[in-house]
């Protein structure tokens, strides 16, 4: 049963070939048996899962079940779940049990999904390797000596190891797409504002966006359709008519114009990764698409701008963890200052402290114009590059990451090498555009991701394009286990 895709599970559940309780028990047993090798879950919610599965079976029996009813999922541990610890993989929130569900959890619960548990991640979603978790690193199911990517490494590894057919994740600078690329899964970061951020612990609010990681585009479309909603509780939530993202999957892509940015194939890109991406582009030509050379001239400024803006916003967002209201509190504080300093010093890991320092510095009175304002100006230029490109093309394609998964510990000593992992994904967040990563080949038996960037609100087309590719190729079916 664990080999079934979400679409296949839906058919099996609706035709009563198996029940949600059977499916849920099977996957819980698999997690129990196998996850010690991957560490992809922080919390497994067995009791909750079984009660949701029973409720789902009753809805199915009454014939009033929505599509995803009874399908097991997992949620990244940055997404609040009522009564279930939400740790952000940090000692700071090791004891935090939210009294409410995030809007996306509420939406998925409403659609009848079954929550198997909460997935591991980089602490507060800061990282690209899932090595900064308080609960230990996640291992890549393709090779357990390698990282699964981050920060949503637990969600990606759990899907790749067939422990769960789909999971939620968040992407501030690449954290859905980069781990999807490194684990041979399909991940989608929606347009900024498409999915409510309410109840998701904020990292960098102007960049954060949640989306699905699944085994293929069709499954991602099912999950995304249930996740989106207009939400009064998120002031940046877009008010759009509800879309069924599965509706256009079968449309022909003949005549599609694919922009291929010169800047994404330059120095730093692994030659074999480039070759797999070029093969994928040829496949799209066979499907009737046309390749168009484009330029995104400000690409090289994306990382420096992001590493001012994201830490600046993080330093403000993370000020709420002060040891007073919830989260970690130090023992026997001498006074208020000591309480703040020791609670934060003990609760936050090294990378998080590093970002808070950088962000506070960039926002401080004397440096605000030199760093933060300058980075915002660069952000506008990066967005302009995309706006101009989308006057000529329908989607943009290139590699998701510069190379396949690297070994655990390989980039730990060099933060800049780690930051460069997101060189192709970060600009998408700065511009607020939707982006996707789909499997497009293997290098030394490690997966390569093809990145598809769409125009604003064009998730339907991206999923259609990805699905058409997955109808004529089988890279997404290659399995780690
Ligand atoms: N790797 C990037 C960072 O560390 C992006 C992380 C993310 O998208 N959450 O900030």
pLDDT tens digits for range 312-366: 999 999 999 999 999 999 999 999 999 999 999 999 999 999 999 999 999 998 8
Buried b (16+ CB within 10 A) or exposed e, 376-408: eebbeebbebbeebbeebbbbbbbbbbbbbbeb
Taking Cα atoms as reference points, which of 54, 76, 60 lies closest to residue 164?
76
What does the angle CA 238 – CA 241 – CA 245 come to, to the nearest 5 degrees? 100
Write the DSSP assignment of 105-158 as a string of letters: HHHHHHTT-EEEEEE--SGGG--SSS---TT----BTTBTTB---SSSHHHHHH
Q: What is the pLDDT of residue 8?
A: 98
Among 76, 128, 359, 414, which is best to mutate for testing ligand 1, by the most ligand atoms less than 8 A from CB? Answer: 128
Residue 429 alpha carbon, nearest atom of ligand 1: 8
Residue 200 Cα to ligand 1 middle (Å):
15
Q: Which residues contact 339 (CB under 8 A, 6 or more apart)?
A: 322, 323, 324, 329, 330, 333
Residue 211 Cα to ligand 1 middle (Å):
14
Q: What is the pLDDT of residue 416?
A: 85
Q: What is the pLDDT of residue 223?
A: 98
Using 50, 70 and 90 to split pLDDT, how confident is the model at 377? Answer: very high
| 20, burial (CB in 10 Å: exposed 0-12, middle 13-18, buried 19+) | buried
Residue 421 alpha carbon, nearest atom of ligand 1: 1
Residue 75 has pLDDT above 90, yes or no: yes
Indicate if ligand 1 lies below 6 Å from the C-beta of 171: yes
Q: Over range 2-25, report the average pLDDT.
A: 98
Mean per-residue pLDDT of the chain: 97
Q: What is the pLDDT of residue 57?
A: 98
Residue 310 alpha carbon, nearest atom of ligand 1: 10
How many other C-beta atoms can be found within 10 angstroms of the C-beta atom of residue 481?
14
Q: How far is CA 338 from CA 271, 323, 356, in A?
A: 52, 10, 18
Q: What is the pLDDT of residue 412?
A: 83
| 292 within 8 A of 285, measured Cβ to Cβ | no
| 280 within 8 A of 291, measured Cβ to Cβ | no
Q: What is the pLDDT of residue 220?
A: 99
Q: How far is CA 465 from CA 208, 216, 356, 440, in A?
A: 24, 12, 39, 13
Indicate if ligand 1 lies below 6 Å from the C-beta of 174: yes
Q: Over range 408-421, report the average pLDDT.
A: 88
Q: Which residues contact 265 (CB under 8 A, 6 or more apart)?
A: 274, 277, 398, 399
Write the DSSP assignment of 324-383 as a string of letters: SSSS---SS-SSHHHHHHHHHHHHS-HHHHHHHHHHHHHHSTTTTIIIIIHHHHHHHHHH
| 268, burial (CB in 10 Å: exposed 0-12, middle 13-18, buried 19+) | exposed
| 277 within 8 A of 442, measured Cβ to Cβ | no
Token digits of residue 202: 């904020």
Residue 142 Cα to ligand 1 middle (Å):
22
| 250, burial (CB in 10 Å: exposed 0-12, middle 13-18, buried 19+) | exposed
Q: What is the DSSP letter of 291?
A: E
Token digits of residue 184: 């041979």
The span from the CA of 369 to the CA of 364, in Å, is: 9
DSSP-derived 3-state class of residue 263: helix
Residue 414 has pLDDT above 90, yes or no: no
Residue 250 Cα to ligand 1 middle (Å):
33
Catalytic sites, residue numbers: 76, 151, 175
Q: What is the pLDDT of residue 415?
A: 83
The span from the CA of 74 to the CA of 97, in Å, is: 17
End-to-end CA distance of the chain: 14
- Give me the percent of the chain exceeding a pLDDT of 90: 96
Indicate if ligand 1 lies below 6 Å from the C-beta of 180: no
Residue nearest atom 5 in ligand 1 by C-alpha distance: 173
* Helix H or strand E encompassing 169: strand 166-171
Write the DSSP assignment of 218-236 as a string of letters: HHHHHHHHHH----TTSTT
Residue 417 has pLDDT above 90, yes or no: no
What does the angle CA 390 – CA 298 – CA 183 come to, to the nearest 5 degrees? 75
Q: Over range 35-40, report the average pLDDT.
A: 98
How many other C-beta atoms can be found within 10 angstroms of the C-beta atom of residue 329?
17
Residue 400 has pLDDT above 90, yes or no: yes
pTM of the model: 0.98
Q: Over range 171-183, report the average pLDDT.
A: 98
Residue 22 Cα to ligand 1 middle (Å):
37
Q: What is the DSSP letter of 187?
A: E
Indicate if ligand 1 lies below 6 Å from the C-beta of 175: yes
Q: What is the pLDDT of residue 413?
A: 81
Token digits of residue 274: 């480039």
Backbone conformation region of residue 441, classed left if phi is above 0, alpha if psi is from -120 to 50, else beta: left
């Amino acid at each position: 049963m664990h080999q079934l895709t979400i679409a296949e599970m839906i058919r099996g559940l609706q035709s009563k070939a198996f029940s949600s309780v059977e499916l849920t028990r099977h996957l819980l047993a698999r997690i129990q048996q196998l996850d010690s090798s991957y560490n992809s879950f922080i919390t497994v919610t067995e009791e909750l899962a079984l009660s949701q599965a029973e409720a789902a079976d009753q809805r199915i029996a009454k014939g009033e079940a929505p599509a995803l009813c009874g399908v097991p999922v997992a949620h990244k541990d940055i997404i609040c779940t009522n009564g279930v610890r939400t740790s952000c993989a940090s000692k700071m929130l090791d004891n935090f049990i939210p009294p409410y569900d995030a809007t996306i959890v509420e939406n998925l619960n409403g659609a009848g999904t079954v929550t198997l548990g909460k997935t591991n991640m980089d602490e507060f979603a800061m990282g690209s390797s899932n090595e900064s978790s308080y609960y230990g690193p996640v291992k890549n199911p393709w090779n357990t000596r390698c990282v699964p990517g981050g920060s949503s490494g637990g969600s990606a590894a759990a899907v790749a190891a067939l422990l769960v057919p789909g999971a939620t994740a968040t992407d501030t600078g690449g954290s859905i797409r980069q781990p999807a690329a490194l684990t041979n899964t399909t991940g989608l970061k929606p347009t900024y504002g498409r999915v409510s951020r309410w109840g998701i612990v904020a990292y960098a609010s102007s960049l954060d966006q949640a989306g699905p990681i699944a085994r293929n585009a069709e499954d991602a479309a099912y999950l995304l359709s249930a996740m989106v909603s207009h939400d009064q509780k998120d002031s940046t939530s877009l008010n759009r008519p509800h879309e069924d993202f599965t509706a256009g999957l079968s449309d022909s892509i003949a005549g599609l114009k694919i922009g291929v940015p010169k800047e994404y194939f330059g120095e730093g890109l692994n030659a074999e990764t480039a070759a797999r991406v070029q093969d994928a582009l040829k496949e799209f030509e066979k499907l009737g698409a046309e390749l168009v050379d484009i330029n995104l001239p400000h690409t090289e400024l994306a990382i420096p701008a992001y590493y001012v803006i994201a830490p600046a916003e993080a330093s403000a967002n993370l000020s709420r963890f002060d040891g007073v209201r919830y989260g970690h509190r130090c023992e026997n504080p001498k006074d208020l200052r000591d309480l703040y300093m020791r609670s934060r010093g003990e609760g936050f890991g090294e990378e998080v402290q590093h970002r808070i320092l950088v962000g506070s510095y960039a926002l401080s009175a004397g440096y605000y114009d030199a760093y933060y304002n300058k980075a915002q100006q660069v952000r506008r230029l990066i967005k302009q590059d995309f706006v101009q490109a989308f006057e000529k093309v329908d989607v943009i394609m290139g590699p998701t990451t510069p190379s396949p998964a690297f070994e655990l510990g390989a980039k730990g000593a060099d933060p800049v090498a780690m930051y460069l992992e997101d060189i192709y994904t970060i600009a998408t967040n700065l511009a607020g555009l939707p982006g996707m990563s789909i499997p497009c080949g293997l290098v030394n038996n490690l997966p390569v991701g093809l990145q598809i960037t769409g125009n604003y609100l064009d998730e339907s087309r991206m999923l259609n394009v990805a699905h058409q590719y997955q109808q004529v190729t089988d890279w997404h079916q290659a399995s780690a286990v």
